[in-house]
Amino acid sequence: MFERHSSKPSSAGRFFAAASIAIASPVLAGFVTLNLTPKVNSNIRTYTGGTFYPLGGQTRDFAGVPFALALLNGDANSFGVIQLPANNTLTTHSFSVNVFGATRVYTLINSAWGSFGANNGKVEVFGSAGAYAKFDLIQGTNIRDHYQGSFQNVLTDPTVVTSKFNNDVLDRQVLVLPAAFRSQSITEFRFSGNGGNPNGTGAAFLAGATFQNCPADLNNDGQVDDADFSIFVVAYNLLDCADPAMPAGCPADLNRDGVVDDADFSIFVVAYNDLICP
């Protein structure tokens, strides 16, 4: 039992009662998949060798990260992706997002065609209070042609993880977000660029995007341990997210209802038991 030390009437006399809290498997973290369906414009199962790609319309893990795979126009035999144009017209696809405290963004991106060293576009994320992160799509570094055997097949970024489907691949990139996202929500995800054909520099396609967060990791060090508990207790005693003493963004309000109370503690304690962020 942890007695509150706040002198505020609203919270005086309240107690932590961890042993009595029913833990109801809250969604404490993990992964939030982006639904690409409204913007998909191409079916990679029609690409060279593409019949070996999985079907859209399902959530599927790629090396431990789930992605929501889309269908093109509801076709059950498709795997819909957002294909950037095969010309030099700069095209931007923007999604509204609401994910608090994200630590990473994962994408599944390959290209049609490709020339080593070409910059085919970029992935960007925007935070609710000005946080920003991006990575460029560079042939030979983090993207390559989807079909192994023609165009540009080199990949050198060691953080990219490949899933193989016969002679086709899907490469999974990861964007590690700056700490500023810890106290903000991602509000926008952007995929943009242009093709290079007939120059052949590569037209990227996005097959999936997923955000990862770990709300209970209050000091953003990748673990949920006593250091986070100490921060949580301070916020619990303050109670109200509007309290001027509360850290910016009120990160200890794990269920985002404006107060740090037992409901948040029940979420915190699950993460604390797991120790490592998912």
By DSSP bridging, strand 161-165 and strand 132-138 are unpaired
Minimum separation from the CB atom of position 128 to Ca ion (A): 18
In whole angstroms, how far apart are CA 20 and each of 1, 17, 133? 10, 6, 42
Among 124, 145, 171, 228, binds Ca ion (CB under 5 A): 228
The count of chain residues that interact with Ca ion, using the rule CB under 5 A, is 9
Q: Which is nearer to Ca ion, 71 or 224 (CB)?
A: 224
Residue 264 binds Ca ion (CB under 5 A): yes
- Choose among 24, 81, 25: nearest CA to 50: 81
Q: Which is nearer to Ca ion, 171 or 253 (CB)?
A: 253
User: Can you say how many angstroms the Cα of residue 85 is from the centroid of all Cα atoms in its chain?
Assistant: 25
Q: Read off the tokens for 219.
A: 């000091």
Backbone angles phi, psi at 183, to 5 degrees: -115, 20
Residue 257 binds Ca ion (CB under 5 A): yes
Q: How many CA atoms lie within 13 A of 113 on its CB side?
A: 19
Among 45, 147, 253, 266, binds Ca ion (CB under 5 A): 253
Q: Which is nearer to Ca ion, 124 or 217 (CB)?
A: 217
Q: Which is nearer to Ca ion, 100 or 126 (CB)?
A: 100
By DSSP bridging, strand 161-165 and strand 168-176 are antiparallel
Q: Which is nearer to Ca ion, 119 or 255 (CB)?
A: 255
In whole angstroms, how far apart are CA 245 and each of 63, 238, 241, 248? 41, 8, 9, 9
Minimum separation from the CB atom of position 260 to Ca ion (A): 6
Minimum separation from the CB atom of position 149 to Ca ion (A): 45
Minimum separation from the CB atom of position 251 to Ca ion (A): 11
Interface stretch with Ca ion, choices 26-34, 112-120, 185-193, 227-235 (CB under 5 A) = 227-235
Residue 221 binds Ca ion (CB under 5 A): yes
Interatomic CA distance for residues 165 and 162, integer angstroms = 10
Interatomic CA distance for residues 271 and 267, integer angstroms = 7
Interface stretch with Ca ion, choices 60-68, 71-79, 116-124, 223-231 (CB under 5 A) = 223-231
Interatomic CA distance for residues 219 and 130, integer angstroms = 20
Q: Which is nearer to Ca ion, 136 or 221 (CB)?
A: 221
Q: List helix spans (H) across 51-127.
A: none
Residue 219 binds Ca ion (CB under 5 A): yes
Residue 217 binds Ca ion (CB under 5 A): yes
Strand partners, 123: 135, 191
Minimum separation from the CB atom of position 254 to Ca ion (A): 6
Say if residues 159 and 144 touch (Cβ distance below 8 Å). no
Interface stretch with Ca ion, choices 48-56, 108-116, 190-198, 222-230 (CB under 5 A) = 222-230
Minimum separation from the CB atom of position 252 to Ca ion (A): 8
Residue 255 binds Ca ion (CB under 5 A): yes
Residues of this chain that interact with Ca ion (CB under 5 A) are: 217, 219, 221, 223, 228, 253, 255, 257, 264
